């Protein structure tokens, strides 16, 4: 089993498809959902019926930490980046922040919380701290 944690809309009922049986529940006020899934599962669908929203959830793959998608994915998973909604709501809307701007903001929040110099830039100390925390 592997522990999966993601953030979606707060205080909403959800249904996770791709498990047998599907899992149903309600997200807390912060939107966080945690569950354990078999290691053989690599893809799930998260459905929020009241909002008529369905999101894909890929499990077990992440780009290397030295690549922008890898650092952003880890920061997202640790709560410093985008929520599950942000890519669909913000990134796809006209005038939304660029991926580089979102990554810079995520890095700056992570640096501030972890008492690193706040630059919003990837650097070796930031990557080392992220790897240290993410592997814990």
Predicted confidence (pLDDT) per residue in 68-118, tens digit = 888 888 887 777 776 544 444 444 444 555 778 778 888 998 999 999 999
What gap in Å lies between CA 70 and CA 73, rounded to an integer?
A: 5
Please give the pLDDT value at position 84: 46
pTM score over 0.85:
no
Contacts of 40 (CB under 8 A, 6+ apart): none
pLDDT bin (cut points 50, 70, 90) of residue 15 is very high
49 with 72, same domain? Answer: no
What gap in Å lies between CA 94 and CA 104, rounded to an integer?
A: 20
* In-domain check, residue 63: no
* In-domain check, residue 20: yes
What gap in Å lies between CA 47 and CA 97, rounded to an integer?
A: 26
* In-domain check, residue 121: yes
Examine the fold and report which residue of 58, 76, 93 is the final residue of a domain before the chain moves on: 58
* Residue span of the structural domain in which 130 resides: 68-135
Examine the fold and report which residue of 40, 58, 76 is the final residue of a domain before the chain moves on: 58
CA-based nearest residue to 74, from 46, 17, 114:
114
Please give the pLDDT value at position 59: 82
pLDDT bin (cut points 50, 70, 90) of residue 10 is confident
128 with 78, same domain? Answer: yes
* CA-to-CA separations, 123 to 80, 95, 107, 117, 118, in angstroms, rounded: 17, 28, 10, 10, 11
pLDDT tens string 32-82: 888 888 888 888 989 999 988 888 887 877 788 888 888 888 887 777 776
How many domains does one find in the chain? Answer: 2
Please give the pLDDT value at position 47: 92
């Amino acid at each position: 089993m592997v522990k999966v944690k993601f953030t979606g809309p707060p205080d909403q009922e959800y249904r996770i498809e791709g498990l047998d049986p599907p899992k149903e529940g309600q997200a807390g006020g912060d939107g966080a959902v945690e569950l354990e899934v078999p290691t053989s599962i690599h893809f799930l669908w998260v459905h929020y019926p009241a909002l008529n929203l369905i999101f894909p959830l890929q499990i077990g793959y992440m780009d290397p930490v030295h690549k922008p998608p890898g650092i952003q994915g880890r920061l997202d998973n640790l709560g410093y980046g985008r929520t599950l909604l942000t890519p669909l709501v913000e990134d796809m809307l006209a005038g939304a922040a660029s991926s580089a701007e979102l990554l810079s903001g995520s890095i700056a929040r992570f640096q501030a919380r972890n008492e690193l110099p706040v630059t919003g830039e990837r650097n070796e100390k930031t990557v080392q701290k992220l790897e240290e925390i993410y592997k814990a």
